[in-house]
Structure 1
Amino acid sequence: MEFLLAIAASTGVVFVAEMGDKTQLVAMSLATRYRAATVLLGITAATLAVHGVSVLIAEVLGLALPTDWITLAAGIAFVCFGVWTLLGDELTDKDEERAASRRIRSGVVTVAVVFFIAELGDKTMLATITVGTRYDWLPVWIGSTAGMVVADALAIGLAALLGKKLPERAIQIGAALLFFLAGGAMVFQGVRAVAS
């Protein structure tokens, strides 16, 4: 049961974190140059690698820090992710240049490399680390990868249908609210545990 709960939690957190995120914009940009299946395969490979590193970091942090303090820190991080989401992420010229790069012959490898670089230090990587400090690494790795791929597949599909006229601000506000709610609950739980 704990395994499934960890998968569900990490899938949901990363799915929400990816909404309106820079890497989601990178995925949509890559989808204008490559077939959707190629983009999703590359994103999956890159996400498996980045989130593998994330859960490793989470395991090390989880062993080094007391659980009550991790809960409090995770709650604060989620509130920060909410603010980050509200402020938004923009695709820089450098991101566009990377997405347009065709130096590598394989479309899947190009997408994986571009997405891997864009994902390093990104909100979804940090969210995976945060969730990973609360649950075992394997279900978090599976769930965070699934959440990322589903969020990007949804964005690619909607962009194809709507011609990139997604209500980005509404998505950002909704995602930020979810982070604020989850973060507030964890901060409350962490403060109660630390104080007692």
Structure 2
Amino acid sequence: MESFLVSTSIVGLAEIGDKTQLLSLVLAARFRKPVPIVLGVLVATLINHAGSGALGAWLASVIHPHVMNWAVVASFALMAVWILIPDKLDEAEAVTTKHSMGVFGTTALTFFLAEMGDKTQIVTIALAARFHEFFGVVLGTTLGMMLANVPVIYLGHRFADRLPTKAVHVLAAIIFVVLGGLALRTALYPDAHPMF
């Protein structure tokens, strides 16, 4: 349950102002059909995060726990810095043509590709490696993505313009620093009971 709650909150905050949230806004403005867009985002996120969660769980099983602890510390520290750098949607990612795939297919494919190498994908790998848990992390990161993107899809510019994006990013960075500190404690004292 802890992995689910941590994953949901981290990704929900990390997604605010992220390029995939901007992509959700573009898709909503272009197609004006929220249900297939939401379903496309859900499917793309589940597939992407399932792969990321599986990679993180696998890494945790093949890398020595001491090395993994230090890798998790480093990943949380890097994420704390990366989250403060604002994302911009590339022109190639913003191009969303309907073609024969329809709104759902276009959304799923575009969102899946935009999520590759994105902050939330990296976080999913790190969280699955840290918690040694696949389902709780993948369900949590997927819920976090949906909590951040569904309001944007339904409310568009009015909602996105009112979010204090910088404050949310600072809060997310602080959470990453705290998680990194807890992971550092585990790395320094591996025999002590982990705090998360």
TM class, shorter-chain normalised?
0.7 to 0.9
Structure 1 range deviating more: 52-61 or 123-132: 52-61
The superposition leaves residues 18-56 of structure 1 with CA deviations (integer Å, 9 ceiling, x where unpaired) of 122111111111111232222211000000110111112
Say which structure is richer in helix.
1
TM-score in terms of structure 2 length: 0.87
Structure 1 CA distance, aligned partners of 2:14 and 2:160? 23
What is the aligned residue count? 190
Aligned residue among 55, 62, 73 for 2:53: 55
| In 1, Cα distance between equivalents of 2:177 and 2:94 | 30
One-letter identity of the residue aligned with 1:113: L
- Pick which of 74-83 and 61-70 moved more: 61-70
Q: In structure 2, what is the Cα distance between the partners aligned to 1:10 and 1:109?
A: 27
Deviation of residue 162 (structure 1)?
3.8
Give the match for residue 194 of structure 2.
Answer: none
TM-score, with normalisation over the residues of structure 1?
A: 0.87
Distance 1:79 1:6, change over 3 A: same
Pair 1:151-2:132 in alignment: no
The structural deviation recorded for 1:74 is: 1.2
Amino acid at match of 1:171: V
Q: Which residue of 2 aligns with 1:180?
A: 177
Q: Is the CA contact (8 Å cut-off) linking 1:73 and 1:187 kept in structure 2?
A: no
Which position in structure 1 is the counterpart of 2:7? 10
Distance 1:53 1:30, change over 3 A: same
Question: How far off is 1:160 after superposition?
Answer: 4.4
Q: Deviations over 1:115-152 (max 9, x none)?
A: 00000111101100111112321222211111111111
Aligned to 1:46: 44
Q: 2:29–2:156: 8 Å Cα contact kept in structure 1? A: no
Q: Against the structure 1 CA distance between its residues 12 and 167, is the aligned structure 2 distance closer, same or farther, given a 3 Å change threshold?
A: closer
Structure 1: 5+ residue runs without aligned partners?
A: none
Identity rate, percent? 30
Alpha-carbon distance in 2 for matches of 1:183, 1:156:
32
